[in-house]
Chains A and B, each alone.
Chain A
């Protein structure tokens, strides 16, 4: 479904030295540029959930933002099978094509609902926008699809015409998921979706994600610093630190038998 090779995102102008010294410090001592992530290689298969775990600042969200074109990577490539049968690097696509990829082949759920939702528009409108972007121009069909999705996400139908700003955090996240799923994308990106939610709401959101994955067979990348979320949702896990992948494998294997010292510390630091 998705193959990422040697992906890197640098914040700052960069210099010849930090280009050359690939495995050196995250911050270039000469120009001060910082690599958000670097040398990332990973694959996501159809219907699989890949977890990305790491401490805050390890580069998880930078990676996800690059994959959703919120930021353009400094180096590397990504091939998404539904886009030209995976023959072309999606970062080399034109800006119009990138927008089409975002709208048709990917859905994104942000940690902060403010980034993923238009708070001034209704919840059904938020779902509708994604459908309109994918050339749905029949109001009846759009309404039907939006209502179905919001119903699946357990948003009370009496409230679907209300703006998400009047909703609780958990409801906002569920509206975001409905919006991300509007076009039935083959790949869903989830960035720390349970942060800031209390445990019962977290459980409800995670149950929904599992239900969707089971029924729709969508490939997902779940970014989290919470190993509980990773354990519950994912098939395979990638562990990141200082912008690099330090360990990857089956989730059970990573959690039961971590090999890297940092992963061991992460696993054993569970409260």
Chain B
């Protein structure tokens, strides 16, 4: 009997059973689980980001028009061919990725901050503050998005006050951010309204916490997965809307994004000339990047709503059971 047996002790502490103090768990519990979905999303997004920030090191100047026009892919060292102005499509694609992602992130951040202010403040404070903020949110929500963006973009172009940033990448990003927040704000408001009446919020009020601390430390952390999902959603929306704006000719002038590439392809009659390598790559990049972000978003949704995690498995097991029953019946018949 060299080792002392846990059964012989008078008191057994959790530490004896669990082997030492338990690890402090914080954010890890709120991270999405590893799954095929998450992995595919991460591969797409990280791949695009690497391409955007490392690609330009290896390509030529995207504005260099010394190349022969409309070279098909693979010819003369131009992996994705050239445009009708003789610009290298791959170089444009890599620089355009930077522009599009910048617009997406800036607009997403603006939308996030605004939805936090309008959503959580309205939901937590309540009363007349809530009425006012919600009314404004609702008005913003029903304003048709794209037309408003078009009006704002063309107004900014004309306005003297905004001349200094006339139709820059930043202006487009800010406009997109200013129009993307109301949906998220409404979701956040209802969440905050639900959280503010929880006992743990009441308990921290009784302990003497100040409202800003309650919002920041007691309520916000519990909304993290939701905020992450909304931020990613806003980024996707902004990239898509930027492409839409640019396609209509209202995109950022002077910078390259996937949207401006599509616009140039359209004005350069790429479709009628059969220059598919001009418009397919930017379109595909938008689709793939959006797809990757959406896949990550779905995995985050599973953190917020664990039912989603088991839903596919449940459907599968039902199908399996139905199959087994059908086979049994067949056996009985035979």
> A and B, one complex?
no
- What is the interface of chain A, defined by CB distance below 8 A to chain B? none
